[in-house]
Amino acid sequence: MQTSTATSVRPQPGFVQLAACLGFVVVSIDVSVVNVALDALRGAFHADVTGLQWVVNAYALVFASALLLAGALGDRFGAKRVFVVGYALFTCASVGCGLAQSLAALIGWRLAQGLGAALLVPNSLSVLREAFHDAGARSRAVGWWSAGGGIALAAGPVIGGLLIAAFGWRSIFLVNVPVGAIGLWMTLRYAPLSRGHAGRGLDPLGQLSGALALAALAFALTEASSLSWQDPLIEAAFVLSIASGAVFVWLQARNPAGMLPLALFANRTVSGTTFIGLVANLVFYGIVFTFSLLFQTVWHFTPERTGLAFLPMMAVLVVMNIAAGRLVDRTGARRLAMAGLTTAIVGYLSMLPALATQSYAWLVAPMLVAGGGIALAVPTLTNALLAAVRREQSGIASGLLNAARQVGGVMGVALFGFFVRHTQSALFMHGLVQALVVSATLLAVALGVAWRTLDARAMQPAAAGVKACRAGSESLH
């Protein structure tokens, strides 16, 4: 059993909450802020679309691969220790990104940032749990944690645009340094030290095979933009991804203490929400990446204007996440998730005639509708997932959903980047149309999966509050 001691620190829950929120804020900002710097990075490093994809995906790939491992490390060695390591690594990697002199160096530091982010996010919640013993106070702290991440994700493009205009692209990474230093100091000084579980397994072979499968898949999808689908290197990467994935499944099936119990997938709600979550992030982050290129390289928006252009699509995430938490117990997970996915389909298809006008003004409403639909569906998925598993499985189940969503984001940037790999405007717009059609098609498939796998009944009101709180903490990552 995990206990807290206060040997060299005097626990101060308020400071611990602020440190946890700051960690989630910097991680959330770095999910979206880089998109407004794509044109600046293209000019600074003479990068092509493939290089820009790696700048975005290097962070998300390691983040996705290491999420489950990070939670296990926190259980094994204590949440505070791992949280501190994550803070330090993320802050140092941000310095590296800000000082990078080549595209390869920037991508390398983005990989390190992703590992730091993975160590930060799940253990920030564990640190909060250790600091707040009262259930009501803990729920309020998690609510502020979730709200901070949501606001940061929405504000990231705007903040990034303003920073780039004033100080250049390096500032979007260096701004993390003082925030990280403050959060690290508050954690070391005020967070209670938690003991780990010495017997908690880490499943290194499972972690390695799973990460290799994801990395090979991301490499194949991304490098196809500059090579071709028939290139031997791309084909070899796909084979490696499939083989590593098969090894991962085999290892998990033989290891009762593995990182991912395969028995979870026998639950159709778990399987369904995992697939839908992957699709939701694939279409959302894929379109954010392609629209970033559209605004900056085709429509020649300034960094400030690019950041403001994303504000409707990002800000609606916060509003609809709150609405979903209040509606799910009234309407049921199936109805609300299907309503969100249907709304998103309408939004993505409405972008097609809006783009034909070559006017941003006509694109605002479809962006609001598409982003609102995705934001309505995602927390509903988390609620449905947590309602469908036993309490002792809630951690691994939510970790699975969030890892799947991160993988979806990586796949979206890689796949949609292939569609818009051409610099000529007409070819770029043709690829963007393809990306929107694929988005609507995948969302339609997800809609069918939601109808087949999610429970049609409304959640019990007594449980809904607890589930909504948990869903809020998982809704954005």
Q: How far apart are the first and last CA of the chain?
A: 28
Distance CA 472, CA 450 (A): 20
- Residue 359 in 3-state DSSP? coil
pLDDT at 470: 43
Cβ–Cβ < 8 Å for 65, 210: yes
Residue type, 123: N
φ, ψ (nearest 5 deg) of residue 460: -70, 130
For tokens 């690290």, name the residue.
184
pLDDT digits 0-9 by tens, 217-274: 888 887 877 777 788 888 898 899 899 989 988 888 887 767 777 777 888 888 899 9
63 three-class SS:
helix
Q: Looking at residue 62, what is its pLDDT? A: 86
pLDDT digit string (tens) for 422-459? 878 889 999 999 999 999 999 999 999 999 988 765 44
The whole-number pLDDT of residue 57 equals 84
41-50 CB contacts, 8 Å cutoff, 24+ apart = 41/103, 41/106, 41/169, 42/297, 44/169, 45/102, 45/103, 45/106, 47/103, 48/225, 48/226, 48/421, 49/225, 49/226, 49/293, 49/417, 49/420, 49/421, 50/222, 50/223, 50/225, 50/226, 50/417, 50/421
CB 4 within 8 A of CB 194: yes
Give the model's pLDDT for residue 6.
Answer: 41
For residue 193, the SS3 value is strand
pTM of the model: 0.79
Determine the pLDDT at residue 457: 59
Say which amino acid occupies 86. Answer: G
- Residue 298 is classified by DSSP as I
CA dist., res. 45 & res. 248, Å (int): 37
Q: From 269, 398, 386, 377, select the one nearest 324 (Cα to Cα).
A: 377
Tell me, what's the pLDDT at 394?
A: 64
CB 145 within 8 A of CB 125: yes
Which parts of the chain sit beneath pLDDT 50? 1-7, 458-477
Three-state DSSP class for residue 4: strand
What is residue 474's predicted lDDT score, i.e. its pLDDT?
44
